[in-house]
Amino acid sequence: MKSTHWGGFARLLLGLAFAAVGFLTTSPDTSDVVKIIGISLVGLAAIYSGLRMLSMRKRDREAVKTSAASSNGGAVSVSHDDDSITVTFPDGHTQSLHWNALTKVAIRTTDEGPFVDDVFWEFYVGDALKLTYPQDADIGHGLLNTMQKRLPGFDNEAVVKAMGATSNANFIAWQRVA
């Protein structure tokens, strides 16, 4: 579970410390003791921020070790032919979807990356999600290239926006016109 509470606190503390030092060092009426206190606040804020960064780096290294197998060796794979799209999962089971049943292609992004999968392709039949896989499973973007050619009105701008997203969001890349 991610918490940005302490990260926000560190930024607030650092900002206040810099503002205080800036104000105190430019004021002619400020005593040396007050200046030292201001500089000490900046030092404390810097130490706190540095410790936070070290703990985040450790957490990120641990996330790399425990990330989904698809990011580490491509254990989830996707393939397609003229009839269907097939996803093979690490345990060996597969899920398939026929092109003619497809009604919507969406891209779901999360704020979890970049050390774990954070972009997922989703394929719908009607309103039901029938197939999903992480972006890394489509090595070489073969399926993406096929969708761009095969699905009329495929929205490349939605793909570009999704690939640049760093938050939890959904993008519709294609939807069958009724």
- pLDDT tens figures, 55-66: 655 555 444 333
Mean pLDDT within 42-52: 67
Say what the pLDDT of residue 139 is: 78
**Residue 25, pLDDT score:** 61
Q: What is the DSSP string of 3-40?
A: --HHHHHHHHHHHHHHHHHHHHHH-TT--HHHHHHHHH
Mean pLDDT of 7-29: 62
Residue that wins the pLDDT comparison between 101 and 27: 101
Task: Return the minimum-mean-pLDDT range out of 20-24, 40-44, 70-74.
Answer: 70-74
For 138-157, what is each residue's pLDDT tens digit?
877 789 999 999 999 999 99
Q: Considering the entire predicted model, what is its pTM? A: 0.59
Q: Comparing 66 with 14, which gets the higher pLDDT?
A: 14
pLDDT surpasses 90 at 69: no
DSSP-assigned states of every residue in 51-91:
HHHHHHHHHHHHHHHHS-GGGTT--SEEEE-SSEEEEE-TT
* Range from 39-48, 77-86, 100-109, 166-175 carrying the lowest mean pLDDT: 39-48
